[in-house]
């Protein structure tokens, strides 16, 4: 592919790359350490959930027939046999005309039909007046009402969220089988690069990409590590890679993917034939490299040096690979159809990914406004809430037309 100037369709390129990536092997992990990972096996309930009948409010455990018709005008008097706390374990039983004061979470006395909240009573201690009749099951949960013993609590492929951790912990699950979080190493190449904290000047450019791509990999769910800047020297690059392959599940390089004399990444890997560099029909990325390095055959993606192009290339290739390694599905961002509010033109033969602002319409649907400057303007990328995708055959998208949008996550 290196000698072919015709761009490869992005779908074809991505399909070939993704076919060479497999989800990471599963590991057994403590529940609290697994948040953010993807389940590698179904999780069955070790017992019923809840494990026993219990109160969900502070109040009085009663038999329904003893409080039928209770009201403020005609309160019902019950004898309080005792208190049952959440830590109580001795079984007790209700008899006619009696109740127990119970705390939320306490195991219910045998024969309980409902738990009357405190504000439905005079909160008596030895005896209590009930001024409102409950329905059967009010203020309590029955054994197995959420999940039966052996029922699947969460299926293989689901991401472990804090809410799922709560469910699994409540069911008595202590550890689960998951795909580990992918480890991603990011390397920027170029003699002209300098670290952040200074302003670019002729002959020296701030290393934007390794910072931005490390953040993007982290946002995608990876453990991302920024190596920093590598000089345009093949042996220096090989030394960095030799040092990093044992700690990485994916390596991302940025810069040096062109055909010029200073494009060291392409010349190094092209000679080694470990990475294929393909002109891809993606605007504004053009050439992207993909292959494997080291005895462990760690996947590597080689992205362009322009910051905007590198960020788009990350969305097209690196982000889906990270999610594939993590065992997540789907691997692509959520998409919607939206109405374009102004006409745009697009280069023929290329699938363009353009930063846009997406707005929800009152009554449903979305509108989308292209941001000025396109992906080469970092301020537009920073403000974007999505990427508009225009196909290879689209040269003009008129105002009012419907276009495809990839939605960014926005935590605001």
Does 196 share its domain with 311?
A: yes
- pTM value is 0.87
Using CA atoms, how far apart are residues 17 and 303, in angstroms rounded to an integer? 14
Residue that terminates a domain, selected from 307, 325, 343? 325
User: 397 near 344, Cβ under 8 Å?
Assistant: yes
Does 318 share its domain with 298?
A: yes
Return phi, psi of residue 245, to 5°. Answer: -65, -30
Residue 102 lies in domain: 54-141
Helix, strand, or coil here: 215?
Answer: helix
DSSP string, 264-317: HHHHHHHHHTSEEEEEBSEETT-EEEEEEETTTTEEEEEE-SSHHHHHHHIIII
Does 355 share its domain with 316?
A: no
Does 137 share its domain with 78?
A: yes
Does 167 share its domain with 114?
A: no
User: Model confidence over 114-129: pLDDT tens digits?
Assistant: 999 999 999 999 999 9
pLDDT score recorded for residue 224: 97
Rounded to an integer, the average pLDDT of 140-157 is 97
pLDDT score recorded for residue 193: 86
Does 202 share its domain with 321?
A: yes
What b/e readout covers 173-202, taking b as 16+ CB neighbours within 10 angstroms?
Answer: beebbbbbbbbbbbbbbbebbbeeeeeeee
User: Model confidence over 28-72: pLDDT tens digits?
Assistant: 999 999 999 999 999 999 999 999 999 999 999 999 999 999 999
Does 190 share its domain with 129?
A: no
Does 112 share its domain with 64?
A: yes
Domain-embedded: residue 49:
no
Total residues belonging to the chain: 412
Domain-embedded: residue 161:
yes
Q: How many structural domains are present in the chain?
A: 4
Does 241 share its domain with 318?
A: yes
Whichever domain contains 165, its CATH number is 3.90.105.10
And the tokens for 41?
């096996």
Domain-embedded: residue 2:
no
Does 203 share its domain with 303?
A: yes
Whichever domain contains 369, its CATH number is 2.40.340.10
CA 73, 77, 82, 84 torsion-angle sign: negative
């Amino acid at each position: 592919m290196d000698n072919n100037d015709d761009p490869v369709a992005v779908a074809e390129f991505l399909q070939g790359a993704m076919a060479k990536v497999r989800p990471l092997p599963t590991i057994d992990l403590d529940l609290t350490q697994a948040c953010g990972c993807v389940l590698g096996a179904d999780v069955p309930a070790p017992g019923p959930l809840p494990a026993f009948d219990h109160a969900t409010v502070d109040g009085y455990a009663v038999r329904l027939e003893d409080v039928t018709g209770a009201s403020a005008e005609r309160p019902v008097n019950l004898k309080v046999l005792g208190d049952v706390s959440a830590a109580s374990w001795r079984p007790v039983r209700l008899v006619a005309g009696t109740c127990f004061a119970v705390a939320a979470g306490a195991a219910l006395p045998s024969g309980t039909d409902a738990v009357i909240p405190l504000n439905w009573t005079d909160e008596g201690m030895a005896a209590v007046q009930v001024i409102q009749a409950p329905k059967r099951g009010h203020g309590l949960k029955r054994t197995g009402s959420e999940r039966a013993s052996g029922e699947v609590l969460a299926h293989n492929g689901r991401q472990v969220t804090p809410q799922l951790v709560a469910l699994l912990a409540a069911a008595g699950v202590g550890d689960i089988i998951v795909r580990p979080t992918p480890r991603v190493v990011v390397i920027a190449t170029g003699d002209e690069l300098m670290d952040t904290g200074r302003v670019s000047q002729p002959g020296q450019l701030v290393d934007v990409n390794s910072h931005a791509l490390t953040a993007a990999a982290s946002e995608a769910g990876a453990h991302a590590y920024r190596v920093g800047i590598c000089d345009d020297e093949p042996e220096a690059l090989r030394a960095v890679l030799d040092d990093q392959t044992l700690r990485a599940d994916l390596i991302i390089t940025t810069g040096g993917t062109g055909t010029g004399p200073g494009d060291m990444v392409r010349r190094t890997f092209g000679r080694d034939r470990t990475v294929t560099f393909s002109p891809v029909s993606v605007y504004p990325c053009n050439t992207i490299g993909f292959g494997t390095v080291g005895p462990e055959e760690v996947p590597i993606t080689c992205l362009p040096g322009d910051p905007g192009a590198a960020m788009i290339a990350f969305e097209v290739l690196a982000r889906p690979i990270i999610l594939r390694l993590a065992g997540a599905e789907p691997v692509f961002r959520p998409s919607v159809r939206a109405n374009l509010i102004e006409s745009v033109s697009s280069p023929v033969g290329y699938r363009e990914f353009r930063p846009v602002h997406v707005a929800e319409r009152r009554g449903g649907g979305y509108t989308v406004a292209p941001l000025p400057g396109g992906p080469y303007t970092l301020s537009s990328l920073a403000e974007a809430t999505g990427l508009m995708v225009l196909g290879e055959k689209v040269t003009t998208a008129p105002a009012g037309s419907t276009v495809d949008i990839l939605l960014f996550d926005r935590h605001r």
